[in-house]
């Protein structure tokens, strides 16, 4: 592991300023940081990617585990701090043999095969609220490798991801996530433990990839059915899925009288199987 020394020219004081345009709110509560680190089960992987490490409040608890840790941030100041002051304070005197690497990169654009090739890994972090849903969608795209996903979101978003059918907050993010992952809402975090404090509560969740996460239908069609249904969420499926030009005998089924929030994840899978069967004819 390469040793870094001194403080960088970009960040001579070792202090990182929270930047509004990056959605940064730095967690100050060590107990909560440790609890987030402990949401990782370490089952089936030995590598973790932390998104948005900031000043390393969560990172140092990840480094206590038997894991290769990769910390990715867009903020040049954060990257400089983690490579200098943080490194010297938390790692320089430790006999740690596992990999620790800090990357200045955009998770939404970065090719993760450069880090993990085809190996399994976990994702965690105190995610920037302004891109948190996009982070989840990319993790879903990478589901063949992302075996576990934990971390902190705006409470409303974390609850939506874990929500079940019958709720007004149940939607595209809920269905697409739960099709491939078991979702658990773990605990709530108040605004006062951040600097600067956000205007909303935060929520911590854990997603564990299902043992059999392959769908018995065309996955692209499944995504299209779910997104089309919720784009007109107040309409019945008979109306929201009109563009599929389904045969009348299929649309007469009672399931098309439902609205999307009344459909479980399994209902959407079963519906996609039926749509795929008639569209192949």
Which of 190, 209, 228 is a domain's end point? 209
Q: How far is CA 172 from CA 30, 51, 144, 149, 246, in A?
A: 34, 23, 20, 18, 22
On whether both 133 and 266 belong to a single domain, the answer is no
Q: Look at the chain and report how many structural domains it folds into.
A: 2
The answer to whether position 15 is within a domain reads no
Give the residue carrying structure tokens 């105190």.
126
Burial (CB < 10 A; 0-12, 13-18, 19+), residue 77, is buried
Q: How far apart are CA 183 and CA 170, in angstroms?
A: 13
On whether both 131 and 57 belong to a single domain, the answer is yes
On whether both 68 and 106 belong to a single domain, the answer is yes
On whether both 199 and 237 belong to a single domain, the answer is no
* Cα radius of gyration (the chain): 21
The answer to whether position 13 is within a domain reads no
Q: How many CB atoms lie within 10 A of CB 72?
A: 23
Which of 164, 184, 209 is a domain's end point? 209
Residue 184 belongs to domain with CATH number = 3.40.50.150
Question: Which 3-state string (H, E, C) describes 81-145?
Answer: HHHCHHHHHHCCCCCCCCCEEEEECCCCCCCCHHHHCCCCEEEEEECCHHHHHHHHHHHHHCCCC
On whether both 52 and 151 belong to a single domain, the answer is yes
177's enclosing H/E stretch is helix 172-180
On whether both 170 and 247 belong to a single domain, the answer is no
On whether both 203 and 226 belong to a single domain, the answer is no
The three-state secondary structure class of 19 is: coil
Strand-pair partners of 187? 204
Q: How far apart are CA 229 and CA 231, in angstroms?
A: 6
The answer to whether position 251 is within a domain reads yes
The three-state secondary structure class of 207 is: strand
For residue 208, is it left (φ>0), alpha (ψ between -120 and 50) or beta? beta
The answer to whether the pTM exceeds 0.95 is: no
The answer to whether position 9 is within a domain reads no
pLDDT in tens, 178-233: 999 999 999 999 999 987 788 899 999 999 999 999 999 999 999 999 999 999 99
The answer to whether position 8 is within a domain reads no
Q: How far is CA 182 from CA 35, 112, 261, in A?
A: 20, 23, 19
Q: How far apart are CA 132 and CA 88, in angstroms?
A: 30
On whether both 158 and 201 belong to a single domain, the answer is yes
The three-state secondary structure class of 152 is: strand
CA dihedral 257, 261, 266, 267 (to 10 degrees): 0
Structural domain boundaries enclosing 36: 20-209
On whether both 67 and 191 belong to a single domain, the answer is yes
pLDDT at 194: 87
The answer to whether position 250 is within a domain reads yes
On whether both 183 and 224 belong to a single domain, the answer is no
The answer to whether position 181 is within a domain reads yes
The answer to whether position 224 is within a domain reads yes
Residue 275 belongs to domain with CATH number = 1.10.8.100
| 231-240: long-range contacts, CB 8 A cutoff, minimum separation 24 | 233/171, 233/259, 233/260, 233/261, 234/259, 235/259, 237/263, 237/271
On whether both 204 and 226 belong to a single domain, the answer is no
Burial 213-225 (b: 16+ CB within 10 A, else e): eebebbeebbbbb
In the chain, which residues have pLDDT < 50?
A: 1-13, 281
């Amino acid at each position: 592991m390469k040793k870094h020394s001194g403080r960088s020219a970009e960040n001579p004081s070792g202090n990182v300023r929270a930047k509004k345009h990056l959605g940064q709110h730095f967690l100050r509560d060590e107990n909560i940081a440790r609890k987030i680190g402990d949401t990782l089960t370490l089952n089936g992987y030995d590598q973790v990617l932390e998104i948005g490490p900031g000043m390393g409040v969560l990172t140092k608890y990840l480094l206590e585990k038997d894991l290769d840790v990769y910390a990715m941030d867009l903020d040049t100041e954060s990257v400089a701090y983690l490579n200098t002051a943080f490194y010297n304070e938390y790692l320089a005197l430790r006999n740690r043999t596992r990999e620790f690497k800090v990357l200045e990169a955009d998770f939404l654009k970065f090719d993760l095969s450069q880090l993990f090739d085809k190996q399994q890994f976990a994702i965690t972090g105190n995610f920037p609220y302004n891109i948190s849903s996009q982070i989840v969608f990319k993790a879903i795209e990478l589901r063949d490798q992302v075996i576990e996903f934990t971390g902190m979101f705006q409470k409303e978003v974390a609850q939506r991801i874990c929500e079940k059918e019958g709720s007004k907050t149940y939607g595209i993010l809920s269905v697409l996530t739960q099709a491939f992952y078991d979702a658990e809402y773990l605990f709530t975090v108040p605004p006062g433990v951040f600097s600067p404090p956000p205007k909303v509560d935060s929520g911590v969740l854990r997603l564990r990839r299902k043992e059999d996460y392959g769908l018995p239908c065309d996955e692209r069609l499944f995504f299209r059915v779910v997104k089309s249904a919720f784009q007109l969420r107040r309409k019945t499926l008979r109306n929201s899925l009109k563009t599929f030009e389904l045969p009348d005998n299929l649309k007469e089924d009672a399931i098309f009288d439902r609205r999307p929030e009344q459909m479980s994840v399994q209902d959407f899978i079963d519906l996609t199987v039926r749509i795929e069967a008639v569209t192949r004819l």
